[in-house]
Structure 1
Amino acid sequence: MIRQAIIAAATLSTIALPAVAAADPIIGQPVPCVKVADLAGADFSVKQCGVSDVDQYRAGLENNGGSYCGPSSLYNVLHHWAHDRNAPVGWLTTKVKNLDPKDPADHNIITNSVGRIGVDAKYTSKGTKLSNLRTAWTIATKPARDAGWSTATEGISPHGNADFGGDMAKRLARGPLQMLYGRYSAGPQNSLQRGGGHLVTVTAVDGSFGGNTVQVRYMDPAKAADHGVGDYLKTQSAYSTVTATLTKRSVYEYSPVTDNPDTDTDESLTPGTYRTVTRWQLTTAGSTSTTTVLVEGFNWFDMAPPVG
């Protein structure tokens, strides 16, 4: 049985600071991450620590990793379980516990690991699917099951879900999530049409059970301050977190018919289909995006060490 952990943390207000700020060793140091798992009452607040932020853009991957957001965001999840929970995850002789994304000596091995996740998740030039990424998780966690650990994973969609935000909070309390969103533009008949998607690693959520708005924080494998600068494809960028708001909305979605290159008929000329679905719109402060970003679901992951 997967056990619930009780986390206690001291606040900064309990620390006596010296009178001379220049001599304070805390100045200039990052604030330590403190786990939060508050699911009591009408509101929730959950935060996970020990999550990496590996870059998807890497030399050695197809198109320099342009479509490797899925494998990269899943690696972040595995990093958490290996380093924060001491879970034995990895592939053959490659153990995630022994790898540090910030260590240049481990960069190539991590690139190979991201590539391995891509293979197990049936990567194509268009990216990876949530379901196949769950398969990749199951493969990477086999060493843990062989050592007596229990593992679990599943996907959750917002459509037909009465409390998508609440589900995010409950699942995040156990471990980081992998969230999928699509980028939509105006389609025919006042609809929205999907033009591509992206996967990120969720580390924190705040909101109310049964509510229509959630605040999230996530690691985005495509975002890096040094993107396009120097040898960025051969180095790990500084970790960063994106803060966003998710708002529940009903979407009238248009799906065009894709042409089959193996037939003489141009199927793309066939009228597409329409449907009304529930999505959660993602917005970030100061965004200049010309597309509508809609969350389409997430993968959750869980593990527990052997008992006894």
Structure 2
Amino acid sequence: MRNPHRGPLRVLTALAMAAGTIGAVAPGAAASGCTPTGLVNSSAWNVRVCGMPDIDQYRSGLVQGGEFYCGPTVVANALYYMDLRGHPFMLPGAVDPMKNDPGNYAKVTNQIKRISNEIGLDAEEGIGVQGITDGLNRMIRGTGHLGMTARYESLALHPFAGHRVATLLGRPGVKSHVMIGAVLRMKAGKVLGRHAVTIVGAQGTLGGTSRITFNDPATLGFVGTGKQSPEMSLTYDLGQFVVNRGTLIKGYDGYNKEQIYLQGVVVID
């Protein structure tokens, strides 16, 4: 198995499902500007979180250039976001993760390495979504924020994923704005692997179009330059729901023309 963009990969497993590979996929429409919203009712929803970091997983200083680091990178997004919004000490040091400065870039890379160790990443294998959840809980407890708990919620049996994402993301409180999405990559009926993204929005109407917006750590950005790429939130329509796979993310199909499904989310209560 090979990454659609780069070299050989193996696995990010999720909930004891089959092994495969993880990797970047082709970007969709980038959001220009951001207006925070929080509308959720039974017939319409429009939720948008602004200011969420969009850290690159492919970066200098990581094993294999960051091939297997989507999990630690999206955890870094979450911790930096909360650290700057009323939940301090999530990550030590005053660092702007999106600042394009060599010293700053190195500090963020070191934080990703630290998170990788905390959550138990195998730098040549990846980590499962349960590992991300358990590791995030260990890091939360280690900072003294005892009123928070990360949990994984499967959407593989949920036919209205867009509304559910909006409901969870639209809850009051900074910690509720954190959402890590687990996506399943398939082609010709075979599982290729899984990937982790940071979900920052959901829009839709009952019986109409449903969309999600997310930051993908695997968009290639400024690979090999030692620089952080700009934020590029991506918005895609949600398509067909398939039991045990989840909901198809239309157009988010990689260069190998895969079928990629939103399978579940990690949230913080």
Q: The TM-score by the shorter chain falls in which range?
A: 0.7 to 0.9
- Report which of the two structures shows the higher radius of gyration computed on alpha carbons: 1
1:173-201 deviations in whole A, cap 9, x for unaligned? 22131111122111xxxxx1111221110
| Aligned CA distance change for structure 1 residues 287 and 64 (closer, same or farther; 3 Å) | closer
Partner of 2:48: 47
Classify the secondary structure of the residue corresponding to 2:177. coil
Identity %: 22
Which of 283, 286, 294 is the equivalent residue of 2:250? 283
SS at match of 2:34: coil
Counterparts in 2 of 1:278 and 1:182: CA distance versus 1, 3 Å: closer
1:116 to 92, 114, 117: 114
In the TM superposition, what are the counterparts of 1:1-308 in structure 2 within 5 Å? 33-83=34-84, 85-90=85-90, 94-95=92-93, 98-101=94-97, 102-104=99-101, 105-124=103-122, 125-142=124-141, 144-145=143-144, 150-161=147-158, 163-173=160-170, 174-186=176-188, 192-208=189-205, 214-227=210-223, 231-232=224-225, 234-250=226-242, 277-284=244-251, 288-302=255-269
Counterparts of 2:48 and 2:127 in 1: how far apart (Å)? 26
Give 1:112's aligned amino acid.
Answer: N
Deviation at 1:32, TM superposition (A): 5.5
Residue type at the aligned position of 1:74: V
What letter is aligned with 1:281?
L
Correspondence for 1:255 = none
Give 3-state SS (helix, strand or coil) of 2:148's partner: strand
Conserved in 1, the CA contact under 8 Å of 2:52 and 2:78?
Answer: yes
Does the 8 Å CA contact 1:213/1:246 hold for their aligned counterparts? yes
Structure-2 change in CA distance of 1:296 and 1:40 (3 Å): closer
- Give a deviation string over 1:108-131, Cα, whole Å, max 9, x none: 121111112112222122212111
Q: Is the contact between residue 89 and residue 141 of structure 1 (CA under 8 Å) also seen in structure 2?
A: no
In structure 2, stretches of 5+ residues that fail to align are 1-30, 171-175
Shift of 1:144: 4.8
Query: How many residues are aligned here?
Result: 231
Spell out, residue by residue over 1:23-78, the C-alpha distance to the aligned partner (whole angstroms, 9 max, x if none): xxxxxxx9753211111341111010110011101222111111101111111111
Cα distance change, pair 247–135 in 1 and its aligned pair in 2 (3 A): same
TM-score normalised over the length of structure 1:
0.68
Measure the CA separation in 2 of the matches of 1:56 and 1:108: 13
One-letter identity of the residue aligned with 1:122: G
Unaligned runs of 5+ in 1: 1-29, 187-191, 251-275, 303-308
- Larger RCO, structures 1/2 (Cα 8 Å, 6+ apart): 2
Letter in structure 1 aligned against 2:153: I
